[in-house]
Amino acid sequence: MLADLAEALYRAADHHAALQAVDEALMVARRRTDRVAELHATVLRGLIICALGSTSHEELDEIVGDAQNLLDVSGAVYFTPQLDQLRLHLERR
């Protein structure tokens, strides 16, 4: 649910609040070993960081790699379009 809150904040263009919410979502997902929630939060974190314009190419590449690994483990193909969007941001940099 924290990732959903972060996504709502991201879509409302409140990127700083979204980043705080998504970081908390990542902590909770990892603590609970919920790979689907971790995937959602990871992809969303990458998109938020891109919106803020405060990331290096290497950091974004690492986020994409982590998200791909989580997608492979979880099978949550629902998040593929968001991951593809994140990859487009990476290619543009």
Say if residue 85's pLDDT is above 80.
Answer: yes
Q: How confident is the model at residue 86 (pLDDT cuts 50, 70, 90)?
A: very high
For the question of whether the overall pTM of this predicted structure is more than 0.75, the answer is yes
91: which residues sit within 8 A by CB, 6+ positions away? none
Nearest to 18 by CA among 47, 38, 39: 47
Please compute Rg for the chain using Cα positions: 12
* DSSP state letter for 79: G
